[in-house]
Structure 1
């Protein structure tokens, strides 16, 4: 196979392109690789044999991520195209492989023999039916003994997949299956950014948020054939996946906790503002009122951060546009925020004047501590929240300008 080399602009990926074939390529099989010399030859041969046996015009691309054991040369000798990806990371390798793929469809599979490549025609059949993303589900297809660590099988994958389903209403039952297929057009729409292991989660999240057609088929998890420890690090990569899910869901990270704090704090303020309360001998007085006011202030900050993160993520292309947010901004404007914040400031100033006047009536001497403190707390709360509303309104307006400039 004759090839010509070059650097793919802006990526640092060495591109190796085969001569054009008689028929257009339908499927590109992309295999990320880092020192998989023990298994890569078998994987390339198996993928090519499956494609040939199914009558599929396809190619096998090995995305080499800096191997030092000759993996890239072995893959080339077996008939694969090789993308030499300089930037480290699982996601970087996959993106590098996809960058030189010529197929209408792309299928990912690992180099360590853990995925059953004879299932490739199953994925392709779903893609031909019009699905944008076809996920493998190892829990439905079968996990061989010793193929998946105990913590991954019974804690990591189920918990992270469950959170993904909860946060994003995804119907995917195995967020982290590395064997999956998708169309080139859908991949471009996803605009995946993650360079590490969380690449897998981002793809599912983006497809769900973009309302793509996602299907799932059973596939197997087999014992890997590598002669070295796995690249996956249980706790480090598990945390990176969890962090990603939280960052891509400002509702669960900020909005819902903020609403809960505001609600509980407001109830506490209304209950304690006028007088102390006693329940089973426990006295709830001004000290409890301080915490109630603090809960409202913190809750407001959480809600504001949820909106900030959402707007910023949409502006940067990390999240798709949200029509609900657009509709809300028709009414929640800078002027409305300034009016609400100004009203709170005015109430705070009036409350402060009233508190000082009450103190002056007794000659700036001793006053009823609880009553004076309730009045002072209410005034300080109103002043603080007013400033927060005004500052948040200005910052949100700035983000809105940024958003309009990129839309």
Structure 2
């Protein structure tokens, strides 16, 4: 087992108007993880709420999920890095379990496969888009995944060495593709997927879902 003592991880939380969800998310983060909330232009006081709950806040004025994630990655200093949506669909309390294979040296990247707890937690159009992308990833890389889960863990330096360039919705997929090309050991585990707090900015609508799919398909070319 790799000898990493707490605090051993930074949790990157890309954030755009998540004032409703942030308190619950930040209260659920396990000991040993530092929350890095990357504010992507919120107008609802998200940054102030995050600070009030002990998070480190980083600002990224360029809109885009990938822009926020990469700014968080560059701001991180811990050996382990995790990414997680901060809309309360995922429980950060699962983070230590998800991170264990990376921390113990058994994997280089772990993705958390979403397991909906209610029928409405993961809309059918979003599931369909995810399945299509998973098949494309398998054809492109040979990696068999069920989900491009938004909770994921890897080591900071190798992630930076991947030289990620996408700054939109394709960022999570680019991590998987470049990691596979680099010969990383990629594993998948399951986590509960909860109904989100507030309105979805991407997968809550067909238009948003297929825009994300289009961004991600561009990564696979």
TM-score when normalising by structure 1: 0.50
Separation in 1 of the partners of 2:6 and 2:112? 26
**Structure 2 residues not aligned, in runs of 5+:** none
1:171 counterpart = 2:144: yes
Give the structure 1 partner of residue 178 of structure 2: 206
Partner of 1:225, secondary structure, is coil
Structure 2 residue corresponding to 1:137, chosen from 113, 122, 145: 113
Flag the structure with more relative contact order, 1 or 2, with Cα contacts below 8 A and sequence separation at least 6: 2
Change (3 A) 1:225 1:102: same
Tell me the alpha carbon deviations over residues 287-344 of structure 1, each in whole angstroms, 9 at most, x when there is no partner: xxxxxxxxxxxxxxxxxxxxxxxxxxxxxxxxxxxxxxxxxxxxxxxxxxxxxxxxxx
Once the two structures are TM-superposed, the CA of residue 123 in structure 1 deviates from its matched residue by: 1.6
Give the structure 2 partner of residue 65 of structure 1: 40
More helix by share: 1
1:234 counterpart = 2:209: yes
Once the two structures are TM-superposed, the CA of residue 170 in structure 1 deviates from its matched residue by: 1.3
Partner of 1:239, secondary structure, is helix
1:162 counterpart = 2:117: no
- Indicate if the aligned counterparts of 1:127 and 1:183 stay in contact, CA closer than 8 A: yes
Could you list the structure 1 runs, at least 4 aligned residues long, displaced by more than 2 angstroms after superposition: 141-144, 228-232
- Indicate if the aligned counterparts of 2:17 and 2:46 stay in contact, CA closer than 8 A: yes
1:101 counterpart = 2:76: yes
Give the structure 2 partner of residue 127 of structure 1: 102
Separation in 1 of the partners of 2:164 and 2:192? 26
Separation in 2 of the partners of 1:244 and 1:25? 34
Paired residue total: 212
Give the structure 2 partner of residue 45 of structure 1: 27
CA RMSD of aligned residues (A): 1.5
Once the two structures are TM-superposed, the CA of residue 229 in structure 1 deviates from its matched residue by: 3.9
- Indicate if the aligned counterparts of 1:24 and 1:103 stay in contact, CA closer than 8 A: no
Partner of 1:219, secondary structure, is strand
Separation in 1 of the partners of 2:118 and 2:170? 24
Separation in 2 of the partners of 1:30 and 1:194? 17
Once the two structures are TM-superposed, the CA of residue 186 in structure 1 deviates from its matched residue by: 1.9
1:151 counterpart = 2:125: yes
More strand by share: 2
Separation in 1 of the partners of 2:6 and 2:196? 33
Separation in 2 of the partners of 1:209 and 1:229? 32
Separation in 1 of the partners of 2:28 and 2:159? 25
Once the two structures are TM-superposed, the CA of residue 173 in structure 1 deviates from its matched residue by: 2.3
Kindly report which structure 2 residues correspond to 1:4-403, keeping only aligned pairs within 5 A, or say none.
25-47=7-29, 51-52=30-31, 57-130=32-105, 131-138=107-114, 141-153=115-127, 155-175=128-148, 177-226=149-198, 228-232=199-203, 233-245=208-220, 247=221
Separation in 2 of the partners of 1:107 and 1:58? 9
Separation in 1 of the partners of 2:25 and 2:174? 26
- Indicate if the aligned counterparts of 1:135 and 1:216 stay in contact, CA closer than 8 A: yes
**Structure 1 residues not aligned, in runs of 5+:** 1-22, 248-407
Tell me the alpha carbon deviations over residues 30-74 of structure 1, each in whole angstroms, 9 at most, x when there is no partner: 111001111112211211xxx23xxxx221110100111110011
Once the two structures are TM-superposed, the CA of residue 142 in structure 1 deviates from its matched residue by: 4.3
